[in-house]
Structures are given as C-alpha cells and as structure tokens.
Amino acid sequence: MEAQGHHITSVKTLLTVATALIILTIITVIFGYLNFPPPYNVIAAIGIAVVKASLVAMFFMNLYWDKKFNALILVISIIFLSALVGITMLDTMFRHAIIPTFTAG
C-alpha cells in the first residue's frame, strides 16, 4: 500500500476561495431583498448554497486533491439532495389554497 502525502494548500488559494465565498454570500443577501417569483427564489438560494458548499468541500476540506472517489460521493450527495428538494417543491408548489371551514372564535 502506497503512502499518500499530505497536500498543503497555498495561502493565495485559500484567500481566493474565501473571497469567492464572501462575494457569494453578498449575492445571497441581495437575492433575499429582490422579489423573485416563489419557485425561483428557492432555486437561486439553493444553487448559490450548493456552489458555496462545493467550494468549502473542495478547497477547505481538500477534496480537490484527495481521491476522486470522495469527490464522486460529494457529487452524488448533491444530486440526491437536489432530487429530494425538487420532489418537495413539486408537492408544495401545486397545492391548492387552504379554505378554512371552521374557525374557533
């Protein structure tokens, strides 16, 4: 079994990724103040969150330099999460409005 050496990430790479995360956080806050139609605001927020989570996993957790199997597991988990959120959105987007028939007063 071959011993795998540790990879040391440069400060420039870490600062670049940190800057990208800060910019994506600012974009998320800006999207929060804009009035997008209901399905698109969630899609945009989740999309930005996936990009930020991928950056953290790839560079701060060193998946970029790790075995490709671990990166594959990350991609599969993102796809699985997207499917679960998509199915949930399909259920909640097409519900009828609740008409109250009895109100306790």
pLDDT in tens, 25-77: 999 999 888 888 877 888 888 889 989 988 998 888 888 888 888 888 888 98
CA 84 – CA 90 distance, rounded (Å): 10
* pTM as predicted: 0.69
- Least confident span in 13-17, 68-72, 89-93: 89-93
For residue 6, what are its two tokens? 């540790």
26 to each of 33, 49, 68, how far by Cα in Å? 11, 12, 31
One-letter amino acid of 89 = M
Q: How many residues does the chain have?
A: 105
> What's the sign of the alpha-carbon dihedral 60, 64, 67, 73?
positive
Contacts 24+ apart (CB under 8 A), 3-6: none
